[in-house]
Amino acid sequence: MTTHVFVTGTDTEVGKTRISVGLIKVLQQKGLRVAAMKPVASGCEWQDGQLQNEDALALSQQADVKLPYSQINPYAFEPAIAPHLAAEQIGQSISLDVIETNFAAMKLQADAIVVEGAGGWLVPLNDQQTIADLAKALQIPVVLVVAIKLGCINHALLTVQAIAASGLKLEGWVANDFLQDPQSTAIIQSLTKRIAAPCMGIVPKLAADEDASFYLKL
């Protein structure tokens, strides 16, 4: 059974965090001790003397392996812009070695780890590397979150193609129908026909306190 997963999306603001929290709960329901990681995050705010990210905190709150915030989110940036640009603004460089070291330490404490990426699959992290390189460094299967809307078929299929080119396994994809597109049923059917990996769930629009795990399978 797959335990560690890397959650990516067709774009930013597609619901990766909501789905990641749901996946943590699904793994917990299987009796696993689960840790969470958001290696790189922009749009952070100062809390308790350090920059912290709302998404990383949501993941940490659901996880039952409690870890220092700096291990869950090693790279936290205040501007809500692409991570490589945010890092450049403060003269910092994002190192995959740092993220790999934190991930390796997590593996010693948890049965499963849910890692949430930033933005889409090819978001740059530095001058040479992208989110895809981060996923390849961790060598874990990928879950793709697709926000169901006009244009998502192209974005989803291009991302699926890029994941395959990276050599990583696409564990499955999630149809996040929170935008309630009037063509959502037809869009999801089109994606199901064209993506070989299974659809792991169709998640409707949820209230702020609702749980996505009910709609997910892993």
Q: Is 154 annotated as a binding residue?
A: no
Which residues on adjacent β-strands are paired with residue 120? 9
66 assigned ligand-binding residue: no
205: annotated binding-site residue? yes
Q: Is 22 annotated as a binding residue?
A: no
118 assigned binding-site residue = yes
**What DSSP designation does 127 have?**
S
Tell me the residue type at 109: Q
- Answer yes or no: is 204 a known binding residue: yes
Nearest to 114 by CA among 61, 184, 155: 61
- Contact (Cβ atoms closer than 8 angstroms) between residue 194 and residue 3: no
Query: Would you give the DSSP letter of residue 140?
Result: -
If DSSP codes are grouped into helix, strand and coil, which group holds residue 29? helix
48 is in an annotated binding site: no
Helix (H, G, I), strand (E, B) or coil at 39: coil
**Short-list 53, 38, 44, 45, CA closest to 8:** 38
Q: Say whether 42 counts as a known binding-site residue.
A: yes
As annotated, the active-site residues are 38
Binding residue positions: 17, 42, 55, 116-119, 176-177, 204-206
Binding residue positions for ATP: 55, 116-119, 176-177, 204-206
Binding residue positions for Mg(2+): 17, 55, 116
Binding residue positions for substrate: 42
